[in-house]
A and B are shown apart, each in its own frame.
Chain A
């Protein structure tokens, strides 16, 4: 295993609608990817010790490199608001003597430990990227099936994910909120937009157009049980305000039973801290003004710090 850390910057809106890539040997900040309402510049690549793979703090040095190189790729980035920074660690598999991991292929490695190490019934699937996770699942499933004597090919490559089925329906005029929801849930959207009343249409998150019914849909159908899960499913709190008001509304909707209230408030405190971790490395300009407003609302007005766990207070 070759853990290679990469840091990225997220900008507040799209400056491009297609991927822009610098045609050069892989280096820092050479790809600008539009994603939903934002665009993302990345990435760095540094080999990190296994003990630090859970440390996702983006350093000032990483921010500097990404800004300096990113502006060469798209000069508009110099004047575009950065929303946040984040980092991840790639589970690369080292193939040659490459100290940065930069030249390692992001290809998929599926190891059969029976033939390799004499360990029957043990498979490793690694390498790859988020983009290729279904292909990785296919490789691993096929190898497992072969071992189990199941004579059937994995079908994930030809089976649409829930919500991504091709539809021939010609829908009526859509609101912006419905269009935004379709971007996230595809054909599943109608299960929660067609049966609701006006109370359920109310906006929880105005930046990303998330309604009460979408939050309820995520709670009921998508295994959402905390605000970070909800954010990943609906983009609540991922817009320009980074959860300034919407997080409280979302938490209020999530709190279905009175007994949950204290736990949901603690989850809200943890969520606000998670948002801060991405803002802090780019905490200047508008972000500093926004951070001060968020602190004024959540700690000053609401006293949310009283519900923060030890992790948030240290």
Chain B
């Protein structure tokens, strides 16, 4: 099979890159294992939440200029323009967001903490500074749903001066689902709440319990495939209502994944789901073809290739007792040779391993044995130099490096 570009990895990075290339008229294949880190999404996208010293960032575009040279943002070009492009790409896929690259807002986390972020999905609670837009809110939760610790969230809301009442809600269908002890997970609840009739009854239940609250907060357990039901509920509820992120699996993340894939396929892209690239044929500084696990005997040939396989948790990087390596091609990896130096004693310290990743040149080409491979690029968390947890920079690095790679390919 022949393509202009083969993208390895079908998460936020791979799909962003695939969409950008397909939109430009390329014939693109995305090889995806089927699950991505979007399953752990918050409903917001981070660009740069904290600077290298750990201080909250107000203006990501400005603060990015202070990052060390090794950070991948230094290889993407115009951050502000790319960020706007990323937001537009999401909107075209049906993922509507609010926010801007020059001014972070705050999001409320599933345990009631507040973190700076770049974009939030429509319908999610956003906070300017440290003050809620309401004095009295009703924090609702589905009875028996443990992945939305209401007292923790109420604690966070009270810290911001709000009066909070916790209100349990349920429906006969949810009572039924609850009989299976492991059924009460966000994505399962979203499936139960998967039709118009049940959403209308849920709205009635919420309205009946709202009391004198000015606004209603609800766990993000609605709209796993598309936004329609989540928006319908919002319309039917008589007061302002916002979704708040839950403990994974993430419903907004699953929805983003589904919508981005749909958009990519609508643009003519080939999405090879449940598969992964396992080997490639290198000739000097050029990758000739790749092979996947499932398509035995079939080679995928392309002019360019993009490695968007993620970091350790995505298996784009693997470590063993002695080393850290890139498992598909054995590419050059930036890491510390001595294993005891990979980690620090306390879990909340900046862990060195978080910055490990494949080595790239200024155009994000990968390298092997010190030589640049001219038609293979890397994007997203597989890149070295980004501690996405400390910097709160995950989605920004994913999307901006993906767009930068697409531009380099199209040049």
Contacts and interface: CB of A to CB of B under 8 A. Distances in A.
A219 to B, nearest CB: 14
Contacts of A273: 346-348
Interface stretch (A13-21, A103-111, A113-121, A204-212): A204-212
A163 B211 CA distance: 46
A96 B303 CA distance: 75
A255 B342 contact: no
Nearest to A212: B146
A252 B313 contact: no
A305 B348 contact: yes
B348 A269 contact: yes
A201 B143 CA distance: 12
Interface string B126-149: 000000000000000001101101
Nearest to A269: B348
Interface string B19-59: 00000000000000000010011100000000000000000
A202 interface: yes
B174 to A, nearest CB: 11
Contacts of A60: 339-340
Nearest to A294: B347
Interface string B350-367: 010110000000000000
A61 to B, nearest CB: 10
Nearest to A198: B178
Contacts of B265: none
B389 interface: yes
A199 B247 CA distance: 18
Contacts of B320: 284-285
The dominant DSSP class at the B interface is loop
A43 B58 CA distance: 52
A206 B183 CA distance: 11
Interface in B97-137: 109-115
B152 A245 contact: no
Contacts of A291: 312, 343, 351, 353
Contacts of A204: 146
Given A201-B181, A276-B346, A303-B114, A248 B149 contact: yes
Given A245-B247, A280-B343, A292-B353, A304 B155 contact: no
Contact of B348 (A202, A203, A260, A299): A299
Most buried by A among B113, B115, B342, B354: B113
Classify chain B's interface size. 35 or more
A297 interface: yes
A293 interface: yes
Interface in A263-314: 264-265, 268-269, 272-273, 275-277, 280, 283-285, 288-297, 299-308, 311-314
Most buried by A among B37, B155, B175: B155
Interface of B: 37, 40-42, 109-115, 143-144, 146-147, 149-152, 154-155, 175, 178-179, 181-182, 184, 245, 247-248, 311-313, 315, 318-321, 339-340, 342-343, 345-349, 351, 353-354, 388-390, 392, 394
Interface of A: 57, 60, 177, 198-199, 201-204, 206, 211-212, 245, 248-249, 251-253, 255, 258, 260-262, 264-265, 268-269, 272-273, 275-277, 280, 283-285, 288-297, 299-308, 311-314
Closest 9 CB pairs of A and B: A303-B113, A252-B149, A261-B155, A276-B347, A249-B146, A305-B348, A199-B144, A289-B312, A293-B313
20 contacts: A198-B175, A198-B181, A202-B184, A204-B146, A248-B149, A249-B146, A249-B247, A251-B152, A261-B112, A265-B152, A273-B347, A273-B348, A280-B343, A284-B321, A292-B354, A300-B392, A301-B109, A301-B247, A302-B113, A314-B349
